[in-house]
Amino acid sequence: MRQLRNAASGAAMLATDGVFSMDGDVAPLRALALVARTEEALLYVDDAHGVGVLGPQGRGSVADAGLGVADVPLQLATLGKALGGYGAVVAGDADLVEHLAGVARPYLYTTALPPALAAASLAAVRLARRDDWRRARLHDLIGLFRTGASRFGLELMPSATPIQPVLCGDEATAPAMSAALEQAGFMVTAIRPPTVAEGRSRLRVTLTSLHSPQQVNALLGAIAEARDRIACNVA
């Protein structure tokens, strides 16, 4: 808010992720919308990790916060991630979108989606809007993972989304655990500085509705086993 007030004489934009990709937490969008409205700034939300997962009919973190176009004039929705396709969509006020189409250099020099991918994306949107059972299943798997992680003594971050970071501490442990998990048949990316802060290296677990409870439990066991084996080797 201080920065917005210091730039009161010019146009200002307040930009945020809807769901933060490394921690899995959700932005305080209602509070940010209030700040943007008070300071006359344009609020832009990149909802790559919220669309398909949060909100009524999977409409994302903006809808989940009870906000609309009047509150968030510009929003990005990826066609990848939950929708399983490629590319992205910028949605919002028609004048804003038209302006971006005319001046955004990356867009100007990017070719359009192939028709088959556009059709696949439309089909995915219809499924995401209709199939609430997918989100219910995903919510159950998130709960299962967090409960199991607590049982195994794994340190998680406060995330209620499919992004579940398992903290490993130093930047040598995370890739060692990732390699051990790959040998056990699990692909879990290690995240290290400078992507995250020093001492906050982690395994970035991402759950989907296609995973089974058996797979989640097997992953938890494999993470705990990798942790214990690496700790023994260090000792």
Tokens of 162: 């499919």
81 as an active site residue: the answer is yes
- Classify burial at 112, counting beta carbons within 10 Å of its beta carbon; exposed 0-12, middle 13-18, buried 19 or more: exposed
**Residue 211 a catalytic site member:** no
Asked if residues 162 and 19 have their Cβ atoms less than 8 Å apart, the reply is no
d(CA 131, CA 168) in angstroms, rounded, equals 35
Indicate if 49 belongs to the active site: yes
Give the start-end residues of each E strand in the chain: 13-17, 42-46, 74-78, 88-92, 163-169, 189-191, 201-206
Catalytic site residue from 9, 61, 81, 139? 81
Residues with catalytic roles: 21, 49, 81
